[in-house]
Structure 1
Amino acid sequence: MTIEEAQKKVDQWIKTFGVRYFSELTNMACLTEEVGELARIIARKYGDQSFKSGEKEDLSDEMADILWVLICLANQTGVDLTDALKKSFDKKTKRDAKRHLDNPKLK
C-alpha cells in the first residue's frame, strides 16, 4: 500500500465507520498518547524496565496506531504525506549530505 492509498483508505474508513474525524487538537492528543505507548514498550523491551503482567509487547501495533493518527491529521489538514516525505528527503539530503558521514561519533 502506498502512502497515498493509506490516506485514502483511512479517509474512507472514517467516513464509513468513524462518523467524522476527531478535532485536530484531539487527534494531536491521541498521537501523543500513542507515541507514549510505543515509548513504554521500547523502555521495557530495550531499556531497563520490565514488562508488567499482561502488558502488551507489540511494537508493530503501536507503530500502526501512530501512523493511523498521523494520517488522520494529514487528511484533515490537507497534507499530502507522499509529497511531504519527498520534500523531507530533499531537505535532509541537502542539509546533511556530509554531516553524518563526517561525524566521528558514527564511525
Structure 2
Amino acid sequence: MDSLRLRDVQARVDAYISQFEEGYFDPPTLVNRLCEELGELAREVSHRFGPKKKKPGEAEGEMELEIGDLLFVLVCLSNSQGYDMDDIFRRTMEKYETRDKDRWTRKRPAP
C-alpha cells in the first residue's frame, strides 16, 4: 500500500476548497472552528470514557470522524498560511524526540 504523505492530504484539501468562491476561511475563523471540533471530540471522549454517559436513545458518535474533522481544519489553516505539514510534522517530532527523549520510562526489549 502506498503511504499517504501530509503533502498529499494538503493537496486534496486544497483541491476541495479551491472549487468554492469563498476559499479558505480567515485564520481566526479556522481557529474558532478548530475549537468547535475539539469540543465535539471532547464530548465524545467524555461519553465513552468519562462518567457522563449518553442519554438513552442518543446516537453514538464516531471518535474517528471527530479526529478527522480536527485534521481537516488544521490542514485548512496550514494551507491558508502556506505551511508544509510534512515539514511541520518532521520539526515537531525532532523537538519531542530531543526534548522528551528521557522523560518517560522506556519499554524493555522483549527477551
Give the TM-score normalised by structure 1: 0.87
Give, as a single letter, the amino acid of the residue that structure 2 aligns with 1:61. Answer: L
> Is there any run of 5+ residues in structure 2 with no aligned partner, and where?
107-111
Which position in structure 2 is the counterpart of 1:38? Answer: 41
1:101 counterpart (97, 101, 105): 105
RMSD over aligned Cα, in angstroms? 1.5
Give, as a single letter, the amino acid of the residue that structure 2 aligns with 1:9. Answer: R
Give, as a single letter, the amino acid of the residue that structure 2 aligns with 1:27. Answer: L
Which position in structure 1 is the counterpart of 2:53? Answer: 50
Is 1:65 matched with 2:88? no
CA drift of 1:66 comes to 0.3
CA drift of 1:18 comes to 6.4
Percent identical residues: 32
Task: Give distance in 2, aligned partners of 1:32 and 1:56.
Answer: 21
Task: Give distance in 2, aligned partners of 1:35 and 1:16.
Answer: 26
Task: Give distance in 2, aligned partners of 1:66 and 1:49.
Answer: 23
> Is there any run of 5+ residues in structure 1 with no aligned partner, and where?
103-107
Task: Give distance in 2, aligned partners of 1:100 and 1:86.
Answer: 21
Is 1:22 matched with 2:28? no
Task: Give distance in 2, aligned partners of 1:24 and 1:32.
Answer: 12
Give, as a single letter, the amino acid of the residue that structure 2 aligns with 1:25. Answer: P
How many residues align structurally?
102
Indicate the SS of the match to 1:16.
coil
